[in-house]
Structure 1
Amino acid sequence: MSIPLLSFKQAFTAQGINYYSFLNETTSPEKYASSQLKYKIFCCLWAIASIFHMANFNGFSINLTFFLLTASAIGLMAKPSSTVRLLIFISLQMYQAATDMPRVSNHWILYTFVNLTILQSYVYLIIKRKSFYIDKVELLETFAPLVRMELIALYFFAVFHKLNAGFFNTENSCAVEFLMLQNNYYNFLPSSKTLLTLNIYFTLVVETLIPLLICFRKTRYAGILLGLLFHLVLAYNPLNGFYDFSSTVFALYFLFTSNSFSNKIHTLYLKTIQRKSALKKRLLQFNIVNFAVFSLSILFVLFLINVYTRAFQDYFRHVLWTAYSLTFIIVFVLSMRKKEKSDNTRTFTFAHYSLLLFPVLVFLNGLSPYLGLKTESSYAMFSNLRTEGGITNHFIVPVSTQIFDYQKDVVQVVSSSDPFLQEVAQEGKMLVFLHFRKHVRKNLPANVTYIRNGVKQTFELSKAAHTHELLQSSYLLDKTMEFRAFHPSGEPPCSH
């Protein structure tokens, strides 16, 4: 088929271009239209998740990258059908994550892997179709199975990492600390020792059930609903703004839903627009009643803003997250009433073996602590897992699986002019040498005394040669490996 010449606008916006139609390869025009709608809604949910991420640390305007990422997210929501806007958005997100590495949160590194998967799927389809115009439905059906695998991998490690002595220790378990903090803040549940202990097992059971249920079509809706409720509650924990993690999971759950959920969202959206138009026409007819209703509505909204401003400091959690998450869950429950007559979608069927690259990397990233690699950004968040210094508290994986020695090379800080290192020394913690070396090279403390391999050494900046071991660097290791400080003995306390 000959390809016609395109104007710059056509080439950039893909308007009026349709070299091929994926409709010819789908079961029906109705399903194709529903899948197009699903693609657009996912783009909106994905953009919203990034906004919740930035809201967690007020990052909308920290620097130009965050500002552009915010603007691109809003632009994508305004026109989710635009492939160009999606590519700009995911490119900015990946660039931002790359600049922050290795200090990247667990959900944000998963977010990056998902965007890499979308980009790889797009490139794969360009090569397959020999065209830059890619059908949205085919793009969705190419990356969705891969992203589903990545979410399942996340849940696998979220549970597997917790199978350690520290997580089951009621004195240190993150499950206990989470519940205590939530109870202290909201004060609506009893804090008996029995309840705190049960929460350890409850957390593991729920996090195990969610991926198991959503893997199978008959139990999928129950699993999604359980996950939505679990992450809804988790987002209110005062320890952290977990709505960034929860909103990411919400968007990924959407890829497991049938088209009935997308259709329900669209139907409610259209009804809302119609009611808005009808209400607008009614209020534009001037009379005393309309004027009073309009004025009282404004005063009531201002009153609510005043109340919420005084009651909650984190308005993104208590106002926007509450509104977003409850709306999502309610619409999902309403869509559960209508099951599709035929859903031939294969949940994990992928188009080509080369597309498994990033799902495999997601899984390997979770294995990092057991391989002797990084302990941060490996989905071991708040799991009480300890694998450093030739010791592990995991019930299943022994230290012998660590084929890399990075975690075995550790440093005990004795004293330092650097505030962070001095705090580590006072708390009796230890550092992986790579972490210690990177901190010293970056912050250049005047002096630091430390013990490595049983040998006590002192680093003095004024006397150190440029060849000193603490002033050396490895760009690849420094960019990809991040380690937490750890206690040399006993069960580790709850930490990220």
Structure 2
Amino acid sequence: MWAIAALFSMGGDYGALNFDKGLLYALPAWGIVLLSILLIRRPHSSALLFALAAFVVVLYALRSPVASNNKTITMVMDLAILLSGGYLYWKSSDGRIDREQLYEQIRVVARALLAIMYFYGIFHKINTDFLDPEVSCAVGLYAPLASPFGLEDNIYGRYLAIYATFIIEGIAIISLYWRKYFAVGFLLALLFHFIIPISAFSWYMDFSSLVFALYVLSIPREVSATAHATVHSAFSAVASRAAPFGKELIGLTVFGLAILVVVVLDFAYGERSWGLMRHSIGILMWTVFGSVAMFILAESALRHLPYTGRHSARQPAWLFVIPTLFFLSCLSPYLGLKTESSINMFSNLHTEGGQTNHLLFDEPPYLFGYQRDVVRIVDASDGPMRQRAEDGQQVVLFALRDYLRQNPDAWVSYELDGTLHEAVTRANFAVQPGLIERNLLPFKLVDFERPKVCTH
């Protein structure tokens, strides 16, 4: 499941795979694809798992700063896999890594990451704009799903989408640690995360497949064992007929059918952009994989409801350092640090410029000043930055300084606190953003319009 999630993630990173971002990104990106396929063929190979985790961490470091929340969660989980493997190797007397101990250790981190994701999925959304049915990101997901039924503008449906988000994520976080009735939240979460990518609002396949994979690690071992047995019995007969490449043949068949359907529809309804066609193929692939995985996992969970199995053995305390640091990093928007990659995706949250729409704060409790200075772009030397000026978008001054650092020939005219600064270049700033700062602090574009529309 972890390998499949990696493939969906790379499917959304087409720029790296087709060398648009250069060879430095393409090599580890294709390495992840190859290792994922090999791991699907040999799911019991610890070496392949460690290699895949290492490639993901390396690519994340090369990409830094990374805005994607799901890529950050994936990196944290892969880092935990590598650290756990290193710890077990160091402890072993014969240089072998105990796979059972490895599995139990990474299960702790997977469950904690899901809990943190759901906690901030609720906390960041406690703001005036997420609760507004006109601009809420929940409505952005609801509308495409309700449109075929003519209900996209139904006010009750919009409010239902908003508050159902809180209810589902609340039940999910409780059920993660409510062993007896874990299946209640598990089933709701499976359905919720299966539906989200089908809205086509964004490339959600990577996020939902990541959540599925984390859940497989988090649920009781008896449940995942039941699901594994079901998959093995269901596909072994088909795969054996096409041995030794049965699994690959099944995957290629589904992929080929998805491409065929999209090409036929494109021919029937007129030409569409390659990006839209790629997204459509991804949705069809997810619909097949997600529905099968959801059915198998749900059926396996229901067999163990209520769950009366044994408790897992206590794991080393150091494992909790990883999710604890991740939890603290997700407080960044309120502390004046990064506004991206903090599990605040599609939350309508705003914390820049000393202002916030969060209902628990009159103003953000900044400990750092990175978000305090926000500039309005007036003019610029390059097209994309000039477009931001035309769109009325604003940026955090730190992000602008880093942009000029990366583009020494560029200039930008901007307004800060009512003062116009014309044709500013890199040379105008005596101090440039440091290596750690610029790799750990990604910022969203700033929108002071109210209500704040949903972006991402």
TM-score range, shorter chain: 0.7 to 0.9
CA contact (8 A) 2:110 2:218 kept: no
Report deviation, 1:230.
0.2
CA contact (8 A) 1:117 1:147 kept: no
User: How has the CA–CA distance of structure 1 residues 122 and 302 changed in structure 2, closer, same or farther, with 3 Å as cutoff?
Assistant: closer
1:435-481 per-residue CA deviation (whole Å, 9 max, x = no partner) reads 111122223465322123443212355xx7x4x21882311111110
Report deviation, 1:317.
3.1
1:281-319 per-residue CA deviation (whole Å, 9 max, x = no partner) reads 9xxxxxxxxxxxxxxxxxxx9988644532373354343
Match runs of 1:99-114 below 5 Å? 99-114=62-77
1:83-123 per-residue CA deviation (whole Å, 9 max, x = no partner) reads 21111110000000111111341011000001111111122
Question: 1:122 aligned to 66, 74, 85, which one?
Answer: 85
CA contact (8 A) 1:173 1:384 kept: yes
Amino acid at match of 1:128: K
Amino acid at match of 2:399: H
Which one is further off, 116-125 or 440-449? 440-449
* Inter-partner Cα distance in structure 2 for 1:276 and 1:434: 56
* Inter-partner Cα distance in structure 2 for 1:403 and 1:277: 57
* Inter-partner Cα distance in structure 2 for 1:254 and 1:442: 41
Question: Does residue 48 of structure 1 match 2:4?
Answer: yes
* Inter-partner Cα distance in structure 2 for 1:78 and 1:278: 13
Question: Does residue 133 of structure 1 match 2:99?
Answer: no
CA contact (8 A) 1:437 1:471 kept: no
Question: 2:439 aligned to 479, 484, 488, which one?
Answer: 479
Question: 1:419 aligned to 383, 387, 404, which one?
Answer: 383
In structure 1, the residue matched to 2:202 is 240
Question: 1:311 aligned to 248, 265, 269, which one?
Answer: 265
CA contact (8 A) 1:167 1:200 kept: yes
In structure 2, the residue matched to 1:261 is 223
Question: Does residue 172 of structure 1 match 2:135?
Answer: yes
Question: 1:345 aligned to 274, 288, 311, which one?
Answer: 311
Question: 2:160 aligned to 198, 204, 208, which one?
Answer: 198
Q: Percent identity?
A: 29
* Inter-partner Cα distance in structure 2 for 1:96 and 1:69: 9
User: How has the CA–CA distance of structure 1 residues 459 and 131 changed in structure 2, closer, same or farther, with 3 Å as cutoff?
Assistant: farther
User: How has the CA–CA distance of structure 1 residues 274 and 251 changed in structure 2, closer, same or farther, with 3 Å as cutoff?
Assistant: closer
Amino acid at match of 2:294: I
CA contact (8 A) 2:144 2:152 kept: no
Report deviation, 1:337.
4.4
Q: TM-score scaled to structure 2, two decimals?
A: 0.86
Question: Does residue 430 of structure 1 match 2:427?
Answer: no
Amino acid at match of 1:423: Q
In structure 1, the residue matched to 2:123 is 160
* Inter-partner Cα distance in structure 1 for 2:165 and 2:90: 44
Q: TM-score scaled to structure 1, two decimals?
A: 0.79
In structure 2, the residue matched to 1:376 is 340
User: How has the CA–CA distance of structure 1 residues 209 and 261 changed in structure 2, closer, same or farther, with 3 Å as cutoff?
Assistant: same
* Inter-partner Cα distance in structure 1 for 2:433 and 2:108: 39
* Inter-partner Cα distance in structure 1 for 2:235 and 2:225: 15
CA contact (8 A) 2:190 2:294 kept: yes
Counterpart secondary structure, 1:458: strand
* Inter-partner Cα distance in structure 2 for 1:280 and 1:425: 57
User: How has the CA–CA distance of structure 1 residues 89 and 304 changed in structure 2, closer, same or farther, with 3 Å as cutoff?
Assistant: closer
* Inter-partner Cα distance in structure 2 for 1:213 and 1:448: 51
* Inter-partner Cα distance in structure 2 for 1:273 and 1:343: 28
In structure 1, the residue matched to 2:325 is 361
Amino acid at match of 1:238: A
* Inter-partner Cα distance in structure 1 for 2:154 and 2:94: 63
- Aligned-residue Cα RMSD (Å) equals 2.8
* Inter-partner Cα distance in structure 1 for 2:225 and 2:257: 35
* Inter-partner Cα distance in structure 1 for 2:229 and 2:282: 27
User: How has the CA–CA distance of structure 1 residues 243 and 138 changed in structure 2, closer, same or farther, with 3 Å as cutoff?
Assistant: same
Amino acid at match of 2:8: F
* Inter-partner Cα distance in structure 1 for 2:177 and 2:320: 18
CA contact (8 A) 1:166 1:393 kept: yes
CA contact (8 A) 1:431 1:486 kept: yes
User: How has the CA–CA distance of structure 1 residues 335 and 412 changed in structure 2, closer, same or farther, with 3 Å as cutoff?
Assistant: same
Amino acid at match of 1:100: R
CA contact (8 A) 1:371 1:402 kept: yes
CA contact (8 A) 1:145 1:350 kept: no
Report deviation, 1:487.
2.1
* Inter-partner Cα distance in structure 2 for 1:384 and 1:66: 31
Amino acid at match of 1:52: F
1:311-354 per-residue CA deviation (whole Å, 9 max, x = no partner) reads 373354343211211111211232234339852234xx752232
In structure 2, the residue matched to 1:32 is none
CA contact (8 A) 1:65 1:92 kept: yes
Structure 1 residues not aligned, in runs of 5+: 1-44, 282-300
CA contact (8 A) 2:140 2:201 kept: no
In structure 1, the residue matched to 2:247 is none
Report deviation, 1:382.
0.8
Counterpart secondary structure, 2:303: coil
* Inter-partner Cα distance in structure 2 for 1:273 and 1:235: 25
Counterpart secondary structure, 1:412: strand
Counterpart secondary structure, 1:451: strand
* Inter-partner Cα distance in structure 2 for 1:142 and 1:68: 26
User: How has the CA–CA distance of structure 1 residues 197 and 433 changed in structure 2, closer, same or farther, with 3 Å as cutoff?
Assistant: same
* Inter-partner Cα distance in structure 2 for 1:302 and 1:156: 39
User: How has the CA–CA distance of structure 1 residues 453 and 49 changed in structure 2, closer, same or farther, with 3 Å as cutoff?
Assistant: same
Report deviation, 1:278.
9.0
User: How has the CA–CA distance of structure 1 residues 400 and 191 changed in structure 2, closer, same or farther, with 3 Å as cutoff?
Assistant: closer
Report deviation, 1:403.
0.6
In structure 2, the residue matched to 1:457 is 421
1:231-256 per-residue CA deviation (whole Å, 9 max, x = no partner) reads 11001122211011000000011122
* Inter-partner Cα distance in structure 1 for 2:107 and 2:412: 50
User: How has the CA–CA distance of structure 1 residues 236 and 337 changed in structure 2, closer, same or farther, with 3 Å as cutoff?
Assistant: closer
* Inter-partner Cα distance in structure 1 for 2:135 and 2:17: 35
* Inter-partner Cα distance in structure 2 for 1:303 and 1:79: 25
